[in-house]
Amino acid sequence: MLNIDLHCHSDASDGMLPPAELVTRAAACGVDVLALTDHDEVAGLPAARAAAEAVGLTLIAGVEISVSWGGQTIHVVGLRIDPLHAELAAGLEAIRLGRMERARRIGDDLARAGIPGAFAGAYACAANKQMVGRTHFARWLVAQGHATDLRSAFRRFLTRGNPGYVPHEWTTLENAVGWIRASGGIAVIAHPGRYAFDTRTTHLLLDAFRTLGGEGIEVVTGSHHPSEYGKWADLARAFGLKASRGTDFHAPGEGVEPGRVPALPHYCRPVWQGWPEIDAHLSLSLA
Ligand code: AMP
Ligand code: MN
Ligand code: MN
Ligand code: MN
């Protein structure tokens, strides 16, 4: 059985490890096939690919795109994308520019709440100066003693109703799925259990996503409680979507390690079914 982890972050977005270290750590954790899925960014992929070749891990080119849908932010993972595809690259660059404006507004809002210097602090925390996210603010807030850990930083700041929350318009679901597909990739809804949609709206989302050409949803993710796996596996089947598995690893000591979530329920149709990389990995390990 291959250990396939199709969702994780490097310091090209809000992870803590440089791409090569992430790949080495994943290999040490027993991961055979890893997708690097940085937020709105593909800059980590070349270094990750070089490291993967060195340790005999199969790397899948991925991305996690920020989308506004139904009045909320949702995330769409692209797998087996072409990071050099012009339309995808331009779309991601536009999202990162919007992120930067949002980061300044987050800093302004925290300053109004009596916490000055947050933008500069978060910016300094970000290895990739084009990708400043709320996690960088949260890490800075913890380092400054405004919160005890990342979780409480998000509970007290940066989230709706709290200082440092600014509404933001990301790209559309149509754009995200369109760019991923145009580049030859497969679109997957990330951690669907994290969104606060009622049942009817969840069904509308899955239906709209499928109609746009989306192909999968994450069933087993570090963001789902094991008691939720069955529900999402059933919904995937009901909506004709495939199932994905990923840890959403960000950093050592922050949640689950690469590869360390359960296997997909046996009746799921895995999103990686028929991928040439999987067959190639299997024949390599047999040789
Ligand atoms: P952004 O895309 O900049 O809005 O940041 C979203 C990221 O923040 C997610 O990918 C997570 O890494 C992180 N995040 C969001 N909510 C929480 C939370 N409650 N606790 C820890 N990390 C969170
Ligand atoms: Mn993140
Ligand atoms: Mn996400
Ligand atoms: Mn993620």
Residue bearing the CA closest to ligand 1, atom 5: 134
As a whole number of angstroms, the distance between CA 40 and CA 76 comes to 10
Q: Give the CA dihedral 104, 105, 106, 109, nearest 10 degrees.
A: 130
The mean pLDDT value for 91-96 works out to 98
Range 149-153, long-range pairs (CB < 8 A, 24+ positions): 150/254
Mutate to test the pocket of ligand 1, among 13, 66, 135 (most ligand atoms within 8 A of CB): 135
Q: Domain coordinates of the chain in residue numbers? A: 4-92+173-286, 96-158
Asked whether 48 and 19 are in contact (CB, 8 A), the reply is: yes
55 CB-near residues (< 8 Å, 6+ apart): 23, 24, 27
Q: Mean of the per-residue pLDDT values for the chain?
A: 97
Architecture of domain 4-92+173-286 in CATH?
Alpha-Beta Barrel (3.20)
In this model, does residue 287 exceed pLDDT 70? no
Q: What is the pLDDT of residues 144-197, one digit of tens each?
A: 999 999 999 999 999 999 999 999 999 999 999 999 999 999 999 999 999 999
Q: What is the pLDDT of residues 101-160, one digit of tens each?
A: 999 999 999 999 999 999 999 999 999 999 999 999 999 999 999 999 999 999 999 999
The structure's pTM equals 0.98
Q: What is the pLDDT of residues 191-227, one digit of tens each?
A: 999 999 999 999 999 999 999 999 999 999 999 999 9
Architecture of domain 96-158 in CATH?
Orthogonal Bundle (1.10)
- Could you give the count of Cα atoms lying within 13 Å of 60 in the half-sphere of its Cβ? 31
Pocket residues: Cβ below 6 A from ligand 1 = 14, 39, 66, 133-135, 150-151, 154, 250
Which pLDDT score is estimated for 195?
98
